[in-house]
Every structure is written in C-alpha cells, then in structure tokens.
Amino acid sequence: MSYARQLLDSYQGTVNVDVAMLAATIDAISDCAQACTADTDADLGEQDLTEMVTCIRLCLNCTDVCTATAAVISRPADWDADVARPLLQACVAICKSCGDECERHAHMPHCRVCTEACRRCEQACRELLDAMK
C-alpha cells in the first residue's frame, strides 16, 4: 500500500472524495512526474534531437503540472474545488498532449514507458474530476 494511501487512511478530517480513488490519483500523478523527468533525459540522448524537441517540452510542462497537482491534492483539508479542478484539468490536458507525443515515439522504450505513465495519470485525473461533480 502506497504512503499516499496509508496517510489518507490515517487522516482525521473529512475528505470530500473517495480515499482510495484520491490515493490512486496522487500515486499516478507522482509516477507521471517522475517518468516525464526521466524521459526528458532519455530524449536528450537520442540521435535525432529535432524529432524529440516537442516531446521534451511537453515532458517538462507535464513534470511541473503533475508535481503541483500531486502536492495540492495531497492536502485534503480546506479542499478548494476552484483550485483543484482547474489544476486537474491542466493535468489532463498536458498528460493527453504528452502521452500522444510520446506514443509517436513508442518504438523508443523510454517513450513507451512515459506514454503509459501519462495515460494512467490522465485517466486518474479524469476520474477524480468526474467524482468531484
């Protein structure tokens, strides 16, 4: 069981969304941030760098958006949907773009791994957004 889940299970206040779903989303977002950081470095090691520029830029944005989103939703007290919702929407948008671009390079193992991380993160954020309605 991830630390995110263990910490949410120990939470004493009210959490307005399902704890298992929230923990899974935090984990998916954190994993995606890490995958994008590593994929950026792997992209920079490729021969045809011109082909990788868009992928690198998207991975950099994805890392930053995911890092902020994971942190904010890890603080369920004083949960503010006016902050969490647009953040999760930004996360969905960048994970979609980054996942699509990585999929174009899915013959490169690092981009294949990063595609999976982005898809899982996008899906988890969509589900959390749906649950917040």
> What angle, 0 to 180 degrees and rounded to 10, lies between the N-to-C axes of helices 19-43 and 49-73?
150
Task: Give how far the C-alpha of residue 126 lies from the chain's centroid of Cα atoms, to the nearest Å.
Answer: 11
Q: Could you tell me how many residues of this chain bind a second copy (CB under 8 A)? A: 64
In the region spanning residues 73 to 132, those forming contacts with a second copy, defined by CB under 8 A, are 74-78, 80, 82-83, 86-87, 89-90, 93-94, 97, 108-110, 113-114, 116-117
Q: Is 21 in the site for a second copy (CB under 8 A)?
A: no
Going by C-alpha positions, the residue among 42, 59, 35, 128 that lies closest to residue 88 is 128
Residues contacting 22, CB < 8 A, separation 6+: 8, 15, 73, 76, 128
Q: Does 12 bind a second copy (CB under 8 A)?
A: yes
Q: Pick the closer one to a second copy by CB: 115 or 127.
A: 115
Near a second copy by CB under 8 A: residue from 24, 25, 30, 115: 30
Task: Please say which residue, 109 or 131, places its beta carbon nearer to a second copy.
Answer: 109
